[in-house]
């Protein structure tokens, strides 16, 4: 009968023997050379060149042999997964995992000294999920990649930061105010005004993206005001209109883009007033953009809505029309 101590000794001996065999097999494969260059040569000769993307360049063959995740069966799996990841588009894409394994969805092969070769959360998958969420909010597909400030991730993920014009300090001030909103713990009401083509919608979409990324909002709704007022019209019918009103009254964040783009009828104006009043009462945040001054807005949307807009923090986005610049 084996005592616990005896069994422990046997297990330790088996582990030591396995480690020694792994060590001797590795040195045999490299001709006794334990230099980093020998490991590079070995991985290239055995069609495991992809591992050179993962392990540090100073790793020796013996260190490699004792690294978790370098067993032959594991190497084959890692190689297949790396090839999958190489096909992933720049902005991320749908991820099925290796051989459809759910535990691999949204994961990529990585290396760390503590864990060896392992799977960790993929930044591209996070980017893909973020853009999918923005799409659910109604953010236009052409503006789901815009950000508030430049970062070292821009080129890799195809991100487009908002670049304030140095000749227009109010643009920079607006970016600073938007960054403050991303850390706000209370409700906020923002009104972005300024000429067409100065980047108001870009800035708002970048703010929504950052709020979503930082999990400051769970649900948002981005609405182009001419479309929204059409959906709120009397002709749309009570049930569809009531469902939209309930959504826009209670959602965490409502964005009304291009208020004043069209003259709003009395009925639609009342519906918008109802939505904004109830959101204020419910402590919900709202962001509005407009090309018009508050004075001119009164002719388009009525004095009551303008009075509500005056309660918001106003950010003036001045400058030249960047669309005209691009066309020229």
pLDDT tens digits for range 133-144? 999 999 999 999
Residue 254's DSSP bridge partners are: 221, 286
Residue 85 confidence (pLDDT) above 90: no
Per cent of the chain over pLDDT 70 is 94
pLDDT of 327 strictly over 60: no
Neighbours of 122 (CB within 10 A): 21
CA distance 158 to 166: 24
Show me where the domains of the chain are located: 4-124, 126-327
pLDDT tens digits for range 275-307: 988 898 889 999 999 998 888 887 778 888 888
Predicted pLDDT at 287: 95
If you count them, how many residues does the chain have? Answer: 328
Residue 173 has a pLDDT of 93
Given pLDDT bands bounded at 50, 70 and 90, which one contains residue 4? low
Q: With 60 as the cut, is the pLDDT of residue 1 above it?
A: no
pLDDT confidence tier of residue 3, bands split at 50, 70 and 90: low
At residue 251, does pLDDT exceed 90? yes
pLDDT value, residue 19: 83
pLDDT at 214: 93
State the pLDDT at residue 91.
Answer: 76
pLDDT of residue 2: 55
* Distance (Å, whole) CA 238 – CA 254: 21
107-112 and 116-121 strand pairing = antiparallel
Q: Above 60 in pLDDT, residue 328?
A: no
What's the per-residue H, E or C state across the chain?
CCCHHHHHHHHHHHHHHHHHHHHHHHHHHCCCCCCHHHHHHHHHHCCCHHHHHCCCCCCCHHHHHCCCCCCHHHHHHHHHHHHHHHCCCCCCCCCCCHHHCHHHCCEEEEEECCCEEEEEECHHHHHHHHHHHHHHHCCCHHHCCEECCCCCCHHHHCCEECCCCCCCHHHHHHHHHHHHHCCCCCCCEEEEECCCCCCHHHHHHHHHHHHHHCCCCCCEEEEEHHHHHHHCCHHHCHHHHHHHHHHHHHCCEEEEECCCCCCCCHHHHHHHHHHHHHHHHHCCEEEEEECCCHHHHHHHHCHHHHHHHCCCEEEECCCCCHHHHHHC
Residue 86's pLDDT is 86
Q: What are the tens digits of pLDDT across the range 16-36?
A: 777 888 889 889 999 999 999
Q: How many CA atoms lie within 13 A of 78 on its CB side?
A: 25
In CATH terms, the fold of domain 126-327 is Rossmann fold (3.40.50)
Query: What pLDDT was estimated at residue 325?
Result: 57
Give CA separation, 274 vs 234, 298, 305, 312, in Å: 14, 17, 10, 16
Q: CB of 147 within 8 A of CB of 209?
A: yes
Look at 84-98, 163-177, 247-261 and tell me which has the smallest mean pLDDT: 84-98
pTM greater than 0.85 (yes/no): no
Task: For residue range 162-181, list pLDDT tens digits in order.
Answer: 988 888 899 999 999 999 99
Percentage, residues of the chain above pLDDT 90:
51
Q: φ and ψ at 189, to 5 degrees?
A: -125, 120
Distances in Å between the Cα of 142 and the Cα atoms of 134, 135, 145, 202 are 11, 10, 7, 10
pLDDT tens profile 110-138? 999 999 999 999 988 999 999 999 999 99
Query: What is the band of 59 on the pLDDT scale with cuts at 50, 70, 90?
Result: very high
Is the model's pLDDT at 326 over the cut of 70?
no
The answer, yes or no, to whether residue 98 has pLDDT greater than 80, is: no
């Amino acid at each position: 009968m084996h005592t616990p101590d005896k069994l422990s000794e046997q297990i330790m001996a088996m582990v030591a023997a396995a480690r020694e065999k792994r060590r001797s097999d590795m040195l045999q494969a490299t001709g006794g050379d334990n230099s980093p260059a020998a490991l590079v040569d070995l991985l290239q000769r055995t069609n495991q060149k992809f591992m050179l993307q993962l392990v540090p360049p100073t790793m020796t063959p013996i260190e490699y042999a004792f690294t978790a995740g370098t067993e032959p069966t594991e190497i084959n799996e890692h190689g297949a997964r790396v090839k999958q990841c190489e096909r992933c588009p720049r902005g991320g894409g749908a991820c099925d995992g290796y051989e459809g394994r759910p535990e691999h969805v949204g994961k990529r092969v990585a290396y760390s000294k503590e864990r060896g070769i392992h799977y960790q959360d993929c930044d591209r998958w996070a980017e893909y999920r973020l853009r999918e969420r923005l799409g659910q909010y109604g953010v236009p597909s052409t503006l789901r990649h815009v950000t508030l400030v430049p970062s070292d991730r821009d080129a890799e993920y195809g991100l487009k930061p908002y670049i304030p014009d140095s000749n227009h300090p109010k643009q920079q001030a607006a970016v600073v105010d938007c960054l403050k909103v991303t850390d706000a713990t209370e409700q906020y009401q923002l009104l972005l005004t300024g000429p067409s083509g100065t980047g108001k919608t870009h800035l708002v979409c970048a703010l929504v993206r950052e709020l979503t990324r930082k999990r400051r909002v769970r649900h948002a709704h981005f609405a182009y005001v001419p479309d929204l007022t059409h959906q709120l019209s009397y002709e749309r019918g009570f049930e569809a209109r009531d469902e939209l009103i309930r959504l826009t009254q209670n959602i965490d964040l409502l964005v009304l883009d291009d208020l004043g783009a069209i003259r709003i009828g009395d009925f639609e104006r009342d519906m918008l007033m109802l939505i904004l009043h109830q959101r204020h009462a419910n402590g919900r945040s709202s962001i509005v953009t407009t090309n018009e001054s508050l004075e001119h807005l009164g002719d388009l949307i009525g004095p009551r809505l303008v009075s509500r807009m005056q309660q918001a923090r106003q950010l003036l986005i001045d400058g030249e029309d960047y669309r005209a610049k691009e066309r020229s």
